[in-house]
């Protein structure tokens, strides 16, 4: 029987950590993820879990310590945000290439500069090519559920890749919502024990991790990482089906909201999806066939599956909460447009930037985007890469 509770997103993730009771957590505080290691260290001090907490002097060190623990055979985790994630940049790639199934809670916050502590996706999107699985939460319930599923995905023998469980800073991390927790014994049984096949402290299998790889070997390493990321798609769906059995909640690569006959569609990630759903409902009451696709899994990118979901749309708005400065769109826009082109989807597509640095995204904002899509289908020229809500 599920346990009804009221928690912030940070509390929900910290509670999941307590239930899973990983071997090691190394972390350095940074807003808005600070509460997660703070709460976990309190659980440890109170004897509620036996995780070894490693206080470090920086985020680079926290990832390095987490990697060392994981390489030694421990289930190891960390948490960070924004510039903390950027400070880990060098070792993010090492963790992925060494195939270490670290789970990191990323509480999304805009990267400096200028300094900003509010939500956008520039931190994790900047690391999108580091070789980490990335899953994004709309609300506190999803932050909790995604985190529990992450271990089964990352540690699967066909995957063995590090994992970013992302949620929006302050919007979900600090806002309190009603959620349903799963009993601890069920969580422990679902996640299971971490039993690596090879690890540094295995005296029967001497090995090295992170060796020098020159040109005859480097490309094969990248190819194996690519295969692992492709394998993750199947594993993510398998784990989601098993999770539904203990939670009653269903997850996939993305969520389709009122998409059966949708003509005008917004594609978005994170907490703004909830706001967009309210706009969809209001437009449906007016007879307008609005719909929403909320991307949950960004790495591996489900391009073919998204194209199939969007193939009957007349016009599509692709929403990015991070600027890639390519002068030709954002991360989600670039990848989804490519997938739609490959699949032969001919709907009009427009890429927008919204919510940078925590700029408000409201029901009215979403409604205006839908109106743009309606105008485009009636002959208006699409304005690509528009900044939504910018002051002029």
Question: Same domain, yes or no, for 235 and 339?
Answer: no
Q: Which of 390, 307, 377 is nearest to 345 (CA)?
A: 307
In the numeric block, which tokens belong to residue 76? Answer: 């190891």
For the stretch 112-129, pLDDT in tens is: 989 999 999 999 999 999
Decide which of 198, 226, 247 is a domain's last residue.
247
Rounded distance between C-alpha atoms, residue 333 and residue 261, angstroms: 23
Question: Same domain, yes or no, for 232 and 300?
Answer: no
Q: Which of 320, 349, 373 is nearest to 120 (CA)?
A: 320
* 359 belongs to a structural domain: yes
**For residues 316 and 350, is the Cβ–Cβ distance under 8 A?**
yes
Question: Same domain, yes or no, for 164 and 226?
Answer: yes
Per-residue pLDDT at 285: 98
Average pLDDT value for residue range 270-299: 98
Per-residue pLDDT at 206: 87
Average pLDDT value for residue range 210-222: 90
CATH number of the domain bearing residue 16: 3.40.50.970
For the stretch 51-98, pLDDT in tens is: 999 999 999 999 999 999 999 999 999 999 999 999 999 999 999 999
Question: Same domain, yes or no, for 230 and 286?
Answer: no
Rounded distance between C-alpha atoms, residue 235 and residue 299, angstroms: 13
* 302 belongs to a structural domain: yes
* 78 belongs to a structural domain: yes
Q: Domain total for the chain? A: 2
Per-residue pLDDT at 2: 82
Question: Same domain, yes or no, for 304 and 169?
Answer: no
Domain range for residue 289? Answer: 254-387
Per-residue pLDDT at 119: 98
Per-residue pLDDT at 209: 86
Counting other chains too, the contacts that 1-6 makes at CB distance below 8 Å and 24 or more residues apart are 1/183, 2/180, 2/181, 2/182, 2/183, 2/247, 2/248, 3/180, 3/181, 3/182, 3/183, 4/178, 4/179, 4/180, 4/181, 5/178, 5/179, 5/180, 5/181, 6/176, 6/177, 6/178, 6/179
Average pLDDT value for residue range 221-245: 98
* 107 belongs to a structural domain: yes
Question: Same domain, yes or no, for 28 and 144?
Answer: yes
* 37 belongs to a structural domain: yes
Per-residue pLDDT at 142: 98
Question: Same domain, yes or no, for 183 and 323?
Answer: no
Contacts for 66 with CB less than 8 Å, ≥ 6 apart:
24, 25, 26, 76, 77, 78, 95, 102, 104
Largest pairwise CA distance in the chain: 70
Rounded distance between C-alpha atoms, residue 365 and residue 200, angstroms: 52
CATH number of the domain bearing residue 278: 3.40.50.920
Contacts for 71 with CB less than 8 Å, ≥ 6 apart:
98, 100, 199, 200, 209
Distances (CA, A) of 307 to 39, 97, 334, 341: 41, 30, 13, 9
For the stretch 153-212, pLDDT in tens is: 999 999 999 999 999 999 999 999 999 999 999 999 999 999 998 899 988 888 888 888
Question: Same domain, yes or no, for 288 and 222?
Answer: no
CA-CA-CA-CA torsion sign (12, 139, 359, 293): positive
- DSSP secondary structure letter of residue 184: H
CA-CA-CA-CA torsion sign (186, 189, 193, 196): negative
Average pLDDT value for residue range 296-313: 98
For the stretch 26-61, pLDDT in tens is: 999 999 999 999 999 999 999 999 999 999 999 999
Contacts for 256 with CB less than 8 Å, ≥ 6 apart:
291, 292, 293, 309
Decide which of 247, 267, 285 is a domain's last residue.
247
Residue 390 has pLDDT above 70, yes or no: yes
Question: Same domain, yes or no, for 291 and 231?
Answer: no
* 392 belongs to a structural domain: no
Rounded distance between C-alpha atoms, residue 110 and residue 32, angstroms: 11
**For residues 200 and 72, is the Cβ–Cβ distance under 8 A?**
yes
Q: pLDDT tier at 22 (50, 70, 90 boundaries)?
A: very high
For the stretch 127-169, pLDDT in tens is: 999 999 999 999 999 999 999 999 999 999 999 999 999 999 9
Question: Same domain, yes or no, for 312 and 233?
Answer: no
Q: pLDDT tier at 1 (50, 70, 90 boundaries)?
A: low
Rounded distance between C-alpha atoms, residue 115 and residue 112, angstroms: 5
* Backbone phi and psi for residue 315, each to the nearest 5 degrees, phi listed first: -150, 140
Question: Same domain, yes or no, for 111 and 259?
Answer: no
* 48 belongs to a structural domain: yes
* 297 belongs to a structural domain: yes
What is the separation, in whole angstroms, between the first and last Cα of the chain?
53
Decide which of 209, 231, 247 is a domain's last residue.
247
Instruction: Write the DSSP assignment of 293-325 as a string of letters.
Output: EEE-EEES--HHHHHHHHTT-SEEEEEESS---
Q: Which of 283, 314, 289, 296 is nearest to 249 (CA)?
A: 296
Rounded distance between C-alpha atoms, residue 287 and residue 257, angstroms: 16
Residues 262, 120, 154, 53: what is their CA dihedral angle, to the nearest 10 degrees? -150
Question: Same domain, yes or no, for 40 and 161?
Answer: yes
3-class DSSP state for residue 256? strand
């Amino acid at each position: 029987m599920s346990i009804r509770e009221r928690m912030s997103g940070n509390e929900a993730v910290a509670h999941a950590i307590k239930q899973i009771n990983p071997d090691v957590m190394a972390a350095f505080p940074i807003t808005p993820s600070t509460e997660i290691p703070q709460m976990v260290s309190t659980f440890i001090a109170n004897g509620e879990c036996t995780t070894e907490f490693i206080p470090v002097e920086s985020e680079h060190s926290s990832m390095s310590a987490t990697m060392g623990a994981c390489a030694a055979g421990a289930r190891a985790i960390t948490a960070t945000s924004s510039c903390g994630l950027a400070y880990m940049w060098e070792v993010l790639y090492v963790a992925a290439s060494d195939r270490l199934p670290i789970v990191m809670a990323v509480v999304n916050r805009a990267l400096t500069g200028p300094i900003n502590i509010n939500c956008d996706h520039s931190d994790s999107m900047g690391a999108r090519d580091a070789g980490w699985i990335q899953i994004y939460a709309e609300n506190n319930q999803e932050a909790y559920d995604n985190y529990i599923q992450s271990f089964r995905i990352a540690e699967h023998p066909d995957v063995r890749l590090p994992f970013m469980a992302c949620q929006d800073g302050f919007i979900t991390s600090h806002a309190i919502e009603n959620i349903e927790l799963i009993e601890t014994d069920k969580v422990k049984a679902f996640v299971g024990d971490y039993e690596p096949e090879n690890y540094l402290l295995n005296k029967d299998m001497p090995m090295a991790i992170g060796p020098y790889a020159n040109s005859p070997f480097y490309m094969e390493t990248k190819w194996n990482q690519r295969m692992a990321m492709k394998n993750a798609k199947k594993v993510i769906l398998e784990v989601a089906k098993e999770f539904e059995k203990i939670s009653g909640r269903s997850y996939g690569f993305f969520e389709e909201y009122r998409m059966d006959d949708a003509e005008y569609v917004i594609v978005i990630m994170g907490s703004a999806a909830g706001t967009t759903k309210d706009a969809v409902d209001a437009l449906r009451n007016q007879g307008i066939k609005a719909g929403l696709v909320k991307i949950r899994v960004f790495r591996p990118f489900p391009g073919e599956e998204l194209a199939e979901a969007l193939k009957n749309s007349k016009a599509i708005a692709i929403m990015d909460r991070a600027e890639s400065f390519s002068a030709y769109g954002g991360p989600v826009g670039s990848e989804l447009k490519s997938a739609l082109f490959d699949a032969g989807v001919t709907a009009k597509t427009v890429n927008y930037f919204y919510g940078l640095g925590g700029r408000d995204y409201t029901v009215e904002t979403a409604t205006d985007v839908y109106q743009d899509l309606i105008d485009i289908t009636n002959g208006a020229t699409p304005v690509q890469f528009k900044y939504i809500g910018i002051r002029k």
